[in-house]
């Protein structure tokens, strides 16, 4: 089994989302010591933004692409191969200004690729290629955006992740949303993180049982 773990927090240390993703991987390894891990930190190694050459290249047949086009697609080609090779994707990120970090959006832009992570059919329909993957999103939020909260409608993070990955075939990803962490009550924050670890414990057991 192979996991692609993607962290997107700008923090080098003391990141709650990174801590939780590392915790989940550790729990998986308890039940599967030979687990193969591939790791991306989008803050430390930010995916390149889309360019005019990139856009031109994806609409050019592979045999007709110039060296510049091939270079523009190289990061995306590698990323798509890594994602398709994995059996599980574990993506962890904080919410920044109600949505995902810019570095993770850049990764999505590089990952959504016709004929690689999805197929475009003659009738205009599409089929995603991540349908068999187990996918987990761990998100940490400063505010409380749960249903019933005054901030509920400000959550653009979950819908954006759901839309992008559903297009690539992942219709039922798991979300572990930890909120609200920006609070003067350090005990409450500690309890929220403890509850998240319990949820991740249960999920790790479930995923391992499915293998």
- The model's pLDDT over 29-47, given as tens digits with 9 standing for 90+, comes to 999 999 999 999 999 999 9
Strand order in the sheet with 134-140: 36-41, 2-7, 88-94, 134-140, 174-178
Least confident window among 6-10, 17-21, 184-188, 192-196: 184-188
**Phi, psi at 182, each rounded to 5°:** -85, 90
Whether residue 183 has pLDDT greater than 80 = no
Give me the percent of the chain exceeding a pLDDT of 90: 91
Mean pLDDT score of the chain: 96
pLDDT band at 147 (very low <50, low <70, confident <90, very high): confident
CATH superfamily, with its number, for domain 2-210: Flavodoxin domain (3.40.50.360)
Judge contact between 80 and 4, C-beta under 8 A: no
pLDDT band at 188 (very low <50, low <70, confident <90, very high): confident
Judge contact between 83 and 111, C-beta under 8 A: yes
Rounded CA-CA distance 147/162 in Å is 17
3-state class of 115 per DSSP? coil
Q: State residue 43's pLDDT score.
A: 95
Give me the percent of the chain exceeding a pLDDT of 70: 100
Q: State residue 166's pLDDT score.
A: 98
Q: State residue 184's pLDDT score.
A: 65
Judge contact between 20 and 197, C-beta under 8 A: yes
CA angle 4, 7, 8 (to 5 degrees): 135
């Amino acid at each position: 089994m192979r996991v692609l773990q993607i962290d997107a927090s700008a923090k080098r240390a003391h990141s709650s989302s990174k801590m939780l993703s590392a915790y989940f991987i550790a729990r998986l390894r308890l039940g599967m010591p030979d687990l193969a891990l591939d790791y991306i930190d989008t803050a430390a190694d930010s995916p390149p933004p889309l360019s005019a050459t990139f856009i031109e290249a994806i609409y050019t047949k592979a045999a007709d692409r110039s060296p510049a086009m091939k270079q523009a697609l190289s990061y995306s080609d590698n990323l798509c191969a890594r994602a398709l090779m994995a059996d599980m994707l574990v993506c962890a990120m904080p919410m920044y200004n109600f949505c995902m970090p810019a570095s993770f959006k850049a990764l999505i832009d590089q990952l959504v690729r016709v004929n690689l992570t999805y197929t475009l059919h003659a009738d205009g329909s599409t089929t995603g290629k991540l349908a068999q993957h187990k996918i987990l999103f761990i998100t940490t939020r400063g505010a409380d955006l749960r249903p019933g909260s005054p901030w509920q409608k400000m959550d653009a993070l979950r819908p954006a992740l759901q839309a992008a990955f559903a297009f690539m075939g992942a219709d039922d990803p798991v979300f572990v949303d930890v909120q609200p962490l920006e609070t003067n009550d350090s005990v409450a924050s500690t309890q929220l993180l403890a509850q998240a670890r319990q949820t991740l414990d249960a999920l790790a057991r479930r995923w391992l049982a499915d293998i």
